[in-house]
Structure formats: structure tokens, C-alpha cells
Structure 1
């Protein structure tokens, strides 16, 4: 894209045609350059099976082209029309307890259904053939928010597809029995026909079966995407493809696997205005989607101009927050800022979801802020294509996520909470962080952080070992290296194949009581550990911090081990935030990782984007007070006086500066 794109979802089918001309005029005035269109148009363009009515949609795309507004053109398959489930009720999904999910909302289809895929494929053929050469087309938007409402289907069609998937993975039923440890509880299978999805059972289900079903469900949904994408590629090989991930990190969908199948990664992000730390969580999600294609710019496909409609309490964004959070996405690598949606719906389940053009019209605070942001985005076109660089990587793995939060563990764990605990001190210290899969190339990273990597393969252990051997620094947190990729315990216990690297073994897990804490001492600094503790026996590692109370008093809690030319650290608990910051400050200092800009006031975020011959420093004030930032060298603020370099930047509360250096 030649500039930072700006716009949102456009749903003209919800409005009479005489409204469309006003939409084009107001979009142009607001600086809109890209809209996602057609996402929920299936029932309108195919009112009856095989009967297509594209005339009205032709007029919409023609209007967009005339207004020089690009289309992120959807394949229209996200919500099947009522006639499909009337004719073929077998396409409807079932929950684990057998309850069928009915039409009346959206995404009411079994991902494994060949009937759904057949009808969806026919529609995509029509859309691709008709609009592949349309001048408004900029990007294909395949499906929409996959896995949002139907994360897995447990019906008989899915059961058959699951067995096919398992046969491809294990080849014979005896290999499946070995992988699933079916000697336990008399679960041994004698024939593939006996294997089912992990439906509701009397007590704890087989953890390996559940893990494989999560893998399968991700693949089944991904197959829907790739089926449509491949049709589009036949017609338009040069038009890029995307589909929008939802939430900051969405558990059912392995974004790393999916990103490899896309040309552009896009994300729907809805931080909660009631949560004072929501911008840190957003930052983690933005770093992940940027990292999913190794630093390639991404698209913020959806966000709310103000309030959403789906939380229990839906807070509006105070003045300036929408601008601040939009620029945060750009700072962290986005080359597009889009919203849901352009015109606020008059009916339906999302009528109270805010929009760029509210019910009250153009003369409103929200629309004025939208127009002002559109002008700023247009004035910073030179940012497009620049990239964010990082010396720190935090590892996140979807199969591990599915496994570590399973049942019958020493205590329930929340992997995203663990990530947040390790990520927030870096964010607050103005240290840029990539979020990578465990099999990523770690060359170029000084520090790698591994929270709760319960499911650890020998291959991943080898990658981590090599990173440290070559001089890198590694920090691993508790309950890591416990099982292999089939949920079987590593021989000798945790941390499994990392024992030599970390210089220790874990003899016993000692999870803390709910809301319990334990005393810590970190080289003379007292503090508390949260959630977890472990009985650790050093085998070469040095205790840097110890537990100070209870049965573990005097035993190591924070350990450091030299390995090859590098250093590996281990946390046997989660230090409270202040102490975690102290640990990470020490670890990254030893690793030679510096902040983007030292000495920044609390609440100010700093990120640098790099071009071929210049770089851009973006400063965002998430705090509640005005601050002044001294720059290392004079720079031009693209949002201020572009003709006068400055060495001091004053940021109002929620203020933003985009500095060219």
C-alpha cells in the first residue's frame, strides 16, 4: 500500500440506495481510503440457491471506485443464508454436549461440512469472476473472524473428518493408542470407527485426545479459508489475501499457522476503556501479529470508534483515546487503521456498537475525531512500509496454550496472564518485543523469554539450547518442559530436555492456594511470588533469589546458569509486578538490551519504525498528565510543525508525536 490505509467496514445492504451517495461524500471528507465490503452480503446476492443478484453490489463498487476508495472485498461466506440450513440442516454445528446451534445469528456452519464448503465455493467463484478486475478491488477479505463463535464442531460429520485427520497423522490405530496413552482407563481403540471427538464425558477426558482435537479444529477451519483463497488465486493471482484475526490473541486459531497462508495479516482489536492496562494487552497482540510474518506491516482491520455492544458494561472511549489507540497500532507496525463500522446500524444485534458515522450524524464528537484522525493518517503516508525491529522475543505456542490450560493439572494456569506478566515490564521499560512461535529462527535476538512452555518438543529444546550456546540469554518460567507434543511426561520430570541448559531439575510442583502468595528474596530485595512455586534442585545453576517462607523457605526461586557463551535463567514462581520488573531489568541489562529511548516518563510508550534511509520515533502518552520528552537529536513531528525540528516534545494526556529522524 502506498500509504497508511484508513477506513472501516461498510455494509450498504443495510441502507436504502439514496444513502449511499451521502456515504461516499462523507467518506471522502473523512479521508477514507479503504473499506471492507460485502462481508455479510450472501443472503442478498444469492437470495435462492443458484440465483444471483449482484446488480446492487455492482453499483456499490462503482461508487467506491469513483470516489477513489479501495475495497477490501469479502468473499461473503461468513454467514450462510437461512435457505442453506433449511435445505441442508446437517451443515449446522453441534457443541460437545450434542446441542445443535441454529440459524439466527452468524457463523452457523460446521467447518468440516462438505455441503457448506460446496455452496461457499460456488459463491466465491461468482464473486471472483465478477469483480476480479474491478478498479475498486485492493484486497481480498476471505470469510470473516474465523472461529469467533463456532470454535469447534462435535457433530458426526466432524467426527468422520477428525478420524481422517488422525489417520493422516498416525497412520494406524496402534500408533494412535500409543500417542494417546489409551492404556489408561481402558481407552484402547481397536478400530478407527470407535474414535470420536472429545464430547461431554463423565469426568476428565483424555488430554491427548483433546489436544489433537484442538489441532484438528484449527485445521478444519483453516481448510475453509484456504479453499476460498485458492479459488480467488486462480482468478486474481496478484491481488493480496487476508482474513481478520479476532481479539488480541484468539485461542482456537493458530495465528502463526494461518499467517503463512496469507499475504497480509490483519487483526480486529477492541481494548476495554474500563481497563487501565488494556493498552499493554493490546501491545502484546500487535507485536504478535507483526511478528507472525516476521515484521511485515499488518492491518488493524477493526476497532471501535467508541463503545462496543457485546461486553456486560460497554464503556465509550473518552475524547482522544480512539486517536491514541489508533496510533499505538501504527507505532507497533500497522499500515492500516480501520473501524467497525462506517455507519452505525439501525437494527440488529450490533445497533449499539459505535461507528465512524454515529446515529446522531456527522456533527458529533466521534465523527469529528474520525475526520481529524483521517487527516493525520493522510499526512503521514511516508510511514507506510517501514518496519519495527526488536532484540527481545517472547515465545507463544498454540498447541502449548491448548495443553497447558487443560484439566487435572496441579493448578489452573492462564497462559495469557503469564505472557502479560513477562511482557508488561518490557512494555513499561520501552523495550520492543517480538512474539514468536517456538520453532522460529532466533538469530538476532539477544534475549528470549519462555513463559510456561509446558508442552516442549525436543526440536524446540534444541533451538533454545543453541540460542544460549551462541551467546544469547534465555529466561524460562515455571511448569515448562513438562510434556512432549502428545501430552506424555518427559522422562525424569521437568524441565525435561531443558535440564542441562537450565542447570536444574524440578522435583515437585507446589502451586499456591487461590490468591495465595509466598515470600521471596532477590539478592536482598524482598517481595512476593504469585500463583506457583516449585521444589527445585540446582544442578549447576546459581540461586539468585530464594523463597523465604513456608516449606520452601531457603530453597531457590530464581536461578541463573551459564551455558556455552550465554546465560539461562529460571523462575520457579511468578514474582509480583515490581519484582518481575527488577528481574527483567537485570536480565535484559546483562543481555545488552536497551530501551528505545531511555529516561522516559511513566506512561509514555516509545516505538521506532525503520525505513530504508530514515527512521521514525512514535511517542504515545498513555498517562493522565502532560509530559515533556527530551530527544537524543532534533526531529520533525509530522503531526505538528513539520518545518521546524525540535529537541523537546510536549505530550498532552493521550497525546501522540510522530517524529522523523
Structure 2
């Protein structure tokens, strides 16, 4: 059975001029706090300040100190954020994708240098391929080339089929621009343009992200075939179509799928009493996906923040305990805080530290030690924890979110019509059920059960669209004795954004009711 410390971690921030003594003091403080993991960014702009000149000094100190203190390292690669000499100056790390084809070979050299250096180190426990990846909206030549490569596969090479849906007249896929450039200049941004290009565009971005993550993973695997791989997307409890995130696809790339949960950034739609349950809902969502083998929490707030957030947000000792315990109780294999110590320079400097700003133990770090001790005692009686099987499912489907995102773009800011309203509402419904003691899982439509357990419940709210197969699955669930709860914002359209007549699609006539319009 795993020791308690193997479930607990924190991000360690070092500076390139940190001495081995200071690094050892920080790692020792982590060990004293009961942590068994430290996450470290292998900052390419520090490691290769000049072309071909490699300096791993501070990171060697981290790995060696971790080995001495019985701590394992989650080594985060930053191949998407290189030094000035590959054309990306003044950047430490970022969320962007790969920007130019000529950066590929330098990226491969950086990955090779990192993996060859640490693959056999006794402290290495995991490679994090890319921090907080999203299928972003980069409009680069490389992104355009991917878009044009992706479309023929999606349409089976049939340009006429694309033109019928898009209301266009392209002769080849190679001439198609990004969706925002398709309408005549005076028509761009108008509400009556075809949804077709945008319904395709989010899928293409999601596929691009999976390709890029696979490229990094394969570069790692060429040198280190054994060490666990991980990645931590942010778009879990938000509109996944808008961010180009296919969680199930990403889960198939890595051994462990993680996530970032910072209440100060991502939970501003909720009351702080709901923050731990929201994180548990995200863990259970990821664990429900067919490709996923293991789930972790890669980042969760472990210190106070003033500037580096959507709103200032402190964190109490009790909240820190609940963050870590709720993730573990939901089935996470580990929970890692952000951060052990505060950064010294620029963005985030002075924010997020588990230790105080002088790198000394704080009430927060003492609480993590308390969590460690109580976990050790609990495991002696219960053994390791596992996720309880669900009795209720709340639907969160990126295909429906795509319609929601398109219809929110460029419109008035009206609650109930915003891109993230469906995702946030589903998350809050899952939280409400869990807080009533009902084991609940967020999940996409395709992953719903067709046979209901005793007392089984499916909840659909603000799920704008679904297809015939999804409706049939819902009916099978009801036929087996389950309960279906849905509201009038659900099932109005199919996944191509065509209105169901009658709606909710595929359910209305069988269940003996139909909606003919909305009163708002």
C-alpha cells in the first residue's frame, strides 16, 4: 500500500542562481511538511541561455536533494516555450502550442537533453509533457496547415459536402482559411454566418492538441520508455469546445491525466464552500472517460494570491485540508499544491506559497503535515481509498458546448447565454448532489450508462444538443428503472445545430410530451 506522503505534493520554484544549500533547505521543508512529490519546471530559457550551451546546475541540485529526502520529482517539460534564440524571447513558460516548423528540431534537442539527463535518476517519478495545454486559438502558418490537413479527413475528402454545410464554394481544401476569415470582410462577426466552420474548428484544434502532446510523448519515450507521463489540462469544469480540449483523447496519450484547479482563477462562479466538491467533480469526470487509466490533481491552490488570479483569494488551513482530501476521496492518485514557495520575480512573485514568503514553515504547511499524519492513521484502518461507484450522472458534453460557445460569441453578456454557463451549471448540480450524499459523476453523453442502478439518476441541464444515439441511450436508462431529470434548455438541437421538431430530440414522442416553444 502507498504511504501517505506518496499522495501529497507541491510545486517547487527555484531560481537559476539558487545555491545547492538553499535548494536543499526548500526540499527539506517539503519533506518535513509530509510531502512525497515535488513538481519542477525544467525551464528551457534557463537551461539553454545560448545555443548549444546547457546548464542544468540548479535542477541537478533539486533532483539530488529530492533523492536525499525521499521525495519524487514531477518534471515538467517546457518545449512549447523556448529561449530567445529559437524566436521566442522574454518568455519563461506559456500555454501556447508550437509556433513554427523550424522550432521542432530545437524542441526535440531540449527534450532529449532533459530526458537523457534525468531518466535514470532515483528521484524521477513522472514526466509532465506540457503545462496546462489547450487547443488554443493560435493563428500561425503551422496551425493553418493543420486545419487544412484535418478537414479532408473529417469530410472524407468531399469538398462539396463541406461547401453545402458552410455555404461556400471552395475548389480544394488547401485554399480554406481560418473560420473568421471566411465571410466577406463587412460580414465578419455577424450572427447569421454559418455555424459549420466553427463546429469543425473546435474539433480540429482538439485534434491538433492531441497530435502535439503525442509528439512530445514520443520524443520522451524514444529515450525513457518506462517513466510515467502526465499532462494537466485546465478546461475540465468549463467549456471544453471553446478551449479545444478533448479530455478523452488526451487521456489516451498519457499514463495519468491531471488537471489544474485554482479557485482564484477558475471557480469564481461558485461560493468558496463549494470549491473542494468542484475539484472532486472534476476528478470524477476525468475518471469516467474510457481512455483514462489514472487521474491526479496536478495543481490546486495552496497559498494566498493577490495579483495572479481573476480575483484576490486567500486560502485557510481548513480549505487546504479539504482541497487535498476531496481530490483523494474522489479517486485521485495524488494531489499537488501550487506552490511550496513563492516565486521571486515578475508574475506570481509573492503569491501562492505553502511556506511563508521567507520560505519558513507556515500554518498552511503545518496543516499539510497534519493531513499526512491523519491519512497515515486512516490508511491503517481502511486501506487505500477508491472512488465510490456513481448513482447519479450529470451530463457535460463538449459537442453541445460547441453550440453554446458559438451562440455566446460576440453577443450581449447575459447570464444563461454565456459560453461557460452550461459547464458551470452542470458542475454545481454535481456538487449539490454530492453534498447531499449522492455519489455523482459528470460525464459526456456517450459515456452514460444504458442500465440504471437502483435509484439511478441522470440530470440534463443546459445540454443544448444531442444526437439520436444519445436519446436512445437515455430511453434505455429510463426503461431499466432509472430517473431522467431534464430542463427546457436541453435537447433543443442536434449536434449540427439544427432544431429538433419536436424537442427534446428523440424523447418527446416516446415519453409523451413535447416542447413547442420557450417562454423567457
With normalisation by structure 1, the TM-score equals 0.68
Residues 77-99 of structure 1: per-residue CA shift (max 9 Å, x gap): 2522222225xxxxxxxxxxxxx
Q: 1:161 aligns with which of 146, 149, 171?
A: 146
Q: Which has the higher contact order (CA 8 A, sep 6+)?
A: 2
Q: Does 1:285 align with 2:282?
A: yes
Task: Report the Cα distance in structure 2 between the residues aligned to 1:373 and 1:278, rounded to whole angstroms.
Answer: 18
Residue in 2 that maps onto 1:528:
none
More helix by share: 2
Q: Does 1:412 align with 2:399?
A: no
Residue in 2 that maps onto 1:454:
464
Q: Which has the larger radius of gyration?
A: 1
Task: Report the Cα distance in structure 2 between the residues aligned to 1:364 and 1:495, rounded to whole angstroms.
Answer: 54
Q: Does 1:174 align with 2:179?
A: no
SS of 2:515's equivalent?
strand
Instruction: Note the 1:62-211 alignment, pairs <5 A.
Output: 62-85=64-87, 104=91, 106-107=93-94, 109-111=96-98, 113-147=100-134, 151-170=136-155, 171-180=157-166, 182=167, 187-199=168-180, 201-204=188-191, 205-211=193-199
Deviation at 1:395, TM superposition (A): 1.9
More strand by share: 1
Residue in 1 that maps onto 2:36:
33
Instruction: Note the 1:297-312 alignment, pairs <5 A.
Output: 298-308=295-305, 309-312=307-310
The alignment's C-alpha RMSD in Å is 2.9
Residue in 2 that maps onto 1:245:
233
Residues 494-526 of structure 1: per-residue CA shift (max 9 Å, x gap): 22223334332221233x2xxxxxxxxxxxxxx
Residue in 1 that maps onto 2:213:
225
Instruction: Note the 1:309-388 alignment, pairs <5 A.
Output: 309-381=307-379, 383-384=383-384, 386-388=386-388
SS of 1:460's equivalent?
helix
Task: Report the Cα distance in structure 1 between the residues aligned to 2:102 and 2:379, rounded to whole angstroms.
Answer: 45
Q: 2:476 aligns with which of 466, 475, 482?
A: 466
Task: Report the Cα distance in structure 2 between the residues aligned to 1:284 and 1:73, rounded to whole angstroms.
Answer: 26
Q: Please, which runs of 5 or more residues in structure 1 have no aligned partner?
A: 87-101, 513-661
8 Å Cα contact 2:237-2:427 kept in structure 1: no
Task: Report the Cα distance in structure 1 between the residues aligned to 2:53 and 2:329, rounded to whole angstroms.
Answer: 46
Alpha-carbon spacing, 1:271–1:400, altered in 2? closer, same or farther (3 Å): same
Deviation at 1:339, TM superposition (A): 1.0
Task: Report the Cα distance in structure 2 between the residues aligned to 1:423 and 1:302, rounded to whole angstroms.
Answer: 21
Task: Report the Cα distance in structure 1 between the residues aligned to 2:384 and 2:368, rounded to whole angstroms.
Answer: 20
SS of 1:497's equivalent?
coil
Residues 111-168 of structure 1: per-residue CA shift (max 9 Å, x gap): 4643344432332223223322221121221111112xx7221233322211111111
SS of 2:477's equivalent?
helix
Deviation at 1:62, TM superposition (A): 2.1
SS of 1:216's equivalent?
helix
Instruction: Note the 1:614-633 alignment, pairs <5 A.
Output: none
Alpha-carbon spacing, 1:323–1:129, altered in 2? closer, same or farther (3 Å): same
Task: Report the Cα distance in structure 1 between the residues aligned to 2:462 and 2:99, rounded to whole angstroms.
Answer: 32
Residues 312-345 of structure 1: per-residue CA shift (max 9 Å, x gap): 5312123422112222222222231211112211
May I ask how many residue pairs the two structures share in their alignment?
487
8 Å Cα contact 2:202-2:402 kept in structure 1: yes
Task: Report the Cα distance in structure 2 between the residues aligned to 1:107 and 1:44, rounded to whole angstroms.
Answer: 15
8 Å Cα contact 1:248-1:284 kept in structure 2: no
Deviation at 1:21, TM superposition (A): 1.8
Residue in 1 that maps onto 2:48:
46
Residue in 2 that maps onto 1:555:
none
Alpha-carbon spacing, 1:105–1:42, altered in 2? closer, same or farther (3 Å): closer
SS of 1:401's equivalent?
helix
SS of 1:406's equivalent?
helix
8 Å Cα contact 1:295-1:333 kept in structure 2: no
Residue in 2 that maps onto 1:216:
204
Alpha-carbon spacing, 1:427–1:15, altered in 2? closer, same or farther (3 Å): farther
8 Å Cα contact 2:96-2:133 kept in structure 1: no
Residue in 1 that maps onto 2:185:
none
Residue in 1 that maps onto 2:184:
none
Alpha-carbon spacing, 1:421–1:143, altered in 2? closer, same or farther (3 Å): closer
Task: Report the Cα distance in structure 1 between the residues aligned to 2:407 and 2:400, rounded to whole angstroms.
Answer: 13
SS of 1:463's equivalent?
helix
